[in-house]
Amino acid sequence: MSEKATLSILSVESVTPSSPAAADSAVVCVVRCIEGTAQLGMELHRLAPWKGTASPLTLVAIEWYGRQADQLDTMHSAKVTLIGAGADSLAVWGVLDSAPDASESP
């Protein structure tokens, strides 16, 4: 997936913490895409105000104006569902960014 995206978290709607049998948590939050195009299946990494290392979160659902969508374009807001270890630690005004392509590394 070559597309990049940066999302700003506007609110956290609900959190489903991981169970002992599953390592991943799920979180539903409202985000604004501030750069690029977010797509289903995209892996996102916490930028701010997160401290420390965390595994990526996977974007599994986008709800835009009550409809399911495959992507979210720059400057649009939507309700999204993210899953991954530590998803339950996301907070308002946090920033999520897609991983850069390996081909673009120095």
- Asked if residue 84 is part of any domain, the answer here is yes
Fill in the amino acid letter for 19.
S
pLDDT truncated to tens, each residue of the chain (106 aa)? 458 999 999 999 988 876 666 678 899 999 999 999 999 999 999 875 555 556 789 999 999 999 999 999 999 999 999 998 878 888 899 999 996 544 343 4
* Domain extent for 89: 5-94
- Asked if residue 101 is part of any domain, the answer here is no
Q: What is the mean pLDDT of the chain?
A: 84
Q: Total structural domains in the chain?
A: 1
- Asked if residue 71 is part of any domain, the answer here is yes
Taking residue 106's Cβ as centre, other Cβ atoms within 10 Å add up to: 2
Q: Residue 88 corresponds to which tokens in the numbers above?
A: 């339950």
- Asked if residue 104 is part of any domain, the answer here is no
- Tell me how far apart the alpha carbons of residues 26 and 10 are, in angstroms, rounded to a whole number: 17
- pLDDT score for 101: 47
- Asked if residue 74 is part of any domain, the answer here is yes
- pLDDT score for 102: 42
Closest to 3 (Cα-Cα) out of 44, 31, 32, 48: 44
CATH of residue 24: 2.40.30.10
